[in-house]
Amino acid sequence: MKLYLSLLQRNRNFRNLWFARVVSNLGDWFNLLASASLIAALSGAGTAISFLFLARFLPLFVMSPFAGVLADRFERRSLLIWADVLRAVTVLGFLFVDRPERIWLLYVLTALQFVFSAIFSPAEQAYLPAVVDKQDLVTANALDSFTWSTMLAIGALLGGLATAFFGVQTAFVLDALSFLLSAWFVTRIAVRSRGREHAESTQSTARVAFLEIFEGMRYLWAQPVLLAFALIKAGGSLVWGSVNVLEIPLAEQIFPLNGNGTLTLGLLYAAVGIGTGFGPIVVRHLLGDTWGGMLKAVSIGYFAMTLGILGLALAPSLGWMLGATTVRGIGTGVVWVFSAVLLQILIPDRLRGRVFAFEFAAFTLTQSISTLWAGYAYDNLGWSVSQIFFSAAVVSIVITGVWLIFYLRVRSRPRFAT
């Protein structure tokens, strides 16, 4: 851990970006627990829960290409600040969702919140190489994943307790405050990325925006290996998207703690946090930062994800379920971190925002498909939670096999155009 603490101590700008992530992620998990609990109370249907995740995912897919243009065109620090402020205002609107006939408002506000998140995420990923040196990118991404995971574990547990004992309104208010605090930390970052809005202000049209989106797509299409790297997360989310839906009936109906599914859901998210937090750090320690090591890490991530999903399908007890969830989290975290580092190293700065936006759009699309399938199978096909987990495990086995074939072809590093 000395390596990670050293980066925080010597790099003030990264430290402020990290603090912003800490408080924002903590609030996010309060929000998800509260939203899931509110929908379970107002509706309880599997499709209603699927719609919650679709409201979180689809705006990311629709907005990501345009967000990538913004991230490459405008000053990235300013985009992060405005995205946080607008998310804070939006989240306060959740306080008006207090009866079944207003559940539509929760979906609308969730979608709007994630429109702003679609701007924040690629801008942050593209901004990171300006904040840290190239040799610190793996360390920064691993620490970012550990932070996300730690806040998932802590935030989910605290969010479950706060929602269970103080109500959903408290969680929503805390989430809004977390976005404002995150924006304040970002204002303290001295590094500014180079925006192109002044140099190209006369061309700031919708037509030029579409042309810039297609420029990023052409770049990836011309280099299939980089395109494959940009689809690594999409392959994983085709599996873990269904888990997002199934964890709620798993907690509420199968393994509730003293009749309280919210507490079980908090433990589930805490297990995910442990896996996604420590997995990348341990794998990085074992394999290092080399080209071959990063590719092997993605392979390990897919294997762990598959093993965890199979474990969930066979889970006979709460303890088993938490263990399998941790293993699945290890796989998710490793895939997430090392796919991001590969792109940050290989993609030129002028295209980085658009490439990360494409990656973001791709994995939110596959995650939405997986989420919708799980809700439909649970509500309309009469499948059990275990059967749907088995179907996800089959998909995971296929994706892992495809990745291994690709891995054997790119073990020796190919050349890339810039």
Which residues are CB-neighbours of 211 under 8 A, at least 6 positions away? none
Looking at residue 45, its pLDDT comes to 56
Q: Most confidently modeled of 43-47, 154-158, 380-384?
A: 380-384
Please report which confidence band the pLDDT of residue 299 belongs to, taking 50, 70 and 90 as the band edges: very high
Q: Measured in whole angstroms, how far is the alpha carbon of residue 316 from the centre of its chain?
A: 29
pLDDT of residue 25 exceeding 90: no
Q: Contact at 8 Å (CB) between 276 and 149? A: yes
Looking at residue 88, its pLDDT comes to 92
Alpha helices (H) in 188-260, listed in sequence order: 206-221, 224-230, 232-249
pLDDT of residue 386 exceeding 80: yes
Q: Measured in whole angstroms, how far is the alpha carbon of residue 128 from the centre of its chain?
A: 16
Q: Distance between CA atoms of 79 and 345, rounded to whole angstroms?
A: 22
Return the CATH architecture of domain 2-188+207-410: Up-down Bundle (1.20)
Classify burial at 219, counting beta carbons within 10 Å of its beta carbon; exposed 0-12, middle 13-18, buried 19 or more: buried
Looking at residue 193, its pLDDT comes to 63
Looking at residue 61, its pLDDT comes to 72
End-to-end CA distance of the chain: 34
* Average pLDDT over every residue of 13-42: 79
Looking at residue 200, its pLDDT comes to 46
Provide the β-strand partners of residue 260. 257
Model pLDDT for residues 177-194, shown as the tens digit of each residue: 889 999 999 999 887 765
* Average pLDDT over every residue of 42-54: 69
Q: Is 257 helix (H, G, I), strand (E, B) or coil?
A: strand
Q: DSSP for 383-418?
A: --HHHHHHHHHHHHHHHHHHHHHHHHHHSSPPP---
| Mean of the per-residue pLDDT values of the chain | 80
Looking at residue 153, its pLDDT comes to 65
Model pLDDT for residues 242-278, shown as the tens digit of each residue: 887 777 777 767 777 766 666 777 788 778 878 887 8
* Closest by CA position to 168, among listed 248, 229, 254, 91: 91
Q: Contact at 8 Å (CB) between 305 and 331? A: yes
* Average pLDDT over every residue of 300-320: 91
Please report which confidence band the pLDDT of residue 38 belongs to, taking 50, 70 and 90 as the band edges: confident
Q: Is 255 helix (H, G, I), strand (E, B) or coil?
A: coil
Identify the residue with better confidence: 210 or 63.
Answer: 63
Identify the residue with better confidence: 272 or 44.
Answer: 272
pLDDT of residue 73 exceeding 80: no
Looking at residue 414, its pLDDT comes to 59
Q: Distance between CA atoms of 279 and 268, rounded to whole angstroms?
A: 16
Looking at residue 202, its pLDDT comes to 42
Model pLDDT for residues 123-169, shown as the tens digit of each residue: 887 788 888 887 787 788 777 777 776 776 676 667 667 776 777 78
Looking at residue 327, its pLDDT comes to 94
Looking at residue 156, its pLDDT comes to 65
pLDDT of residue 95 exceeding 70: yes
pLDDT of residue 302 exceeding 90: yes
Q: Measured in whole angstroms, how far is the alpha carbon of residue 4 from the centre of its chain?
A: 21
Q: Distance between CA atoms of 182 and 397, rounded to whole angstroms?
A: 39
pLDDT of residue 296 exceeding 80: yes
DSSP state of 200: T
Phi, psi dihedral angles at 145 (to 5 degrees): -65, -40
Task: Kindly list the distances between the CA atom of residue 292 and the CA atoms of 112, 174, 205, 347, in Å, as whole numbers in the listed order.
Answer: 40, 43, 42, 18
Q: Distance between CA atoms of 35 and 232, rounded to whole angstroms?
A: 29
Share of the chain above pLDDT 70, in %: 86
Residue with token string 């394999």: 287
Q: Distance between CA atoms of 153 and 85, rounded to whole angstroms?
A: 25
For the chain, the domains span 2-188+207-410
DSSP state of 23: H
Please report which confidence band the pLDDT of residue 197 belongs to, taking 50, 70 and 90 as the band edges: very low
